[in-house]
Amino acid sequence: IANYSGELTETTIFYPDESLLESAEALAAQFPEIGAVEPTIAGLARNRLVLIVTSDWAETHGDGEQPAESG
């Protein structure tokens, strides 16, 4: 897990070659919050799918924090 410092406007899955395009599209179909499926860009792993989650994911799924227990 690493931080990506480029600019993306939507959660995007990157695929390294055509052999993983179908898998990337299937993942995007399963999670409609994934806004784009794109070929891998410089600086990303070239042997696997890479999902970069942007603020739109948090808006859909919350901030990831667990609610405080009451009682």
Q: What is the pLDDT of residue 68?
A: 55
pTM of structure: 0.77
Cα–Cα distances (Å) from 43 to 10, 19, 32, 69, 71, in that order, read 18, 20, 25, 41, 47
**pLDDT recorded at residue 50:** 96
User: pLDDT (tens digit, 0 to 9) for every residue of the chain, 71 residues total?
Assistant: 677 788 888 999 999 999 999 999 999 999 999 999 999 998 899 999 999 998 877 677 665 555 556 55
- pLDDT, residue 30, reads 96
pLDDT at 4: 79
